[in-house]
Amino acid sequence: MLDCINETFGLHKVDLRTYSPLALAFIGDSVFATVVKAVIIERGNCPGNKLHYYSAHLVRAESQALMYDLWKECISEEEAVILQRGHNAKTVNKAKNATDADYRKATAVETLTGYLFLAGEEERLCELIRMGIEAVYAADAKEEQ
């Protein structure tokens, strides 16, 4: 998809190391939400309010913090550097319904998501998000018991 965007708009590749972690998180937020929404809609048609509920549950800071903890254990050194840069980024915004620790982890997840998207690593991105979604659903099931 990124190749199509670059070609259509006459953009050129930029060294991703020059982007700030918050710039990567900016695009990563949208990419993460888009992947989650695509997964939810492909699982079956349902009313819009349920689609929103399922999506919001997965993209909230608490769920992304759980994904952060999981990802830290299974990513490459290069990905770990990007994740850490996102975690250490100084944000101006605060999440309304999240702890500072969860918000920092969520920013890190979005940073790595943005990096992998811009690097053209869609398969790796989808693999990590799949693992994250499965972990959130497993944690939900454990809480319900």
Full domain range(s) for residue 68: 18-144
User: What are the Cα distances from residue 95, in Å, to 57, 69, 120, 130?
Assistant: 14, 19, 29, 24
DSSP state letters, 133-145: HHHHHHHHHHHH-
Check whether 2 has a pLDDT greater than 90: no
Q: What pLDDT sits at residue 118?
A: 95
Residue 12 lies in a domain: no
Tokens for 141?
A: 């099931």
Residue 8 lies in a domain: no
Q: What is the pLDDT of residues 20-76, one digit of tens each?
A: 999 999 999 999 999 999 999 998 888 889 999 999 999 999 999 999 999 999 999
Residue 13 lies in a domain: no
Residue 138 lies in a domain: yes
Q: What pLDDT sits at residue 3?
A: 84
Residue among 29, 69, 100, 140 flagged as catalytic? 29
Residue 4 lies in a domain: no
**What is the SS3 assignment for 23?**
helix
Q: What pLDDT sits at residue 95?
A: 73
Is 100 a known active-site residue? Answer: no
Residue 5 lies in a domain: no
Residue 11 lies in a domain: no
CATH code of the domain in which 105 resides: 1.10.1520.10
Reported pTM:
0.92
Residue 26 lies in a domain: yes
Number of domains in the chain: 1
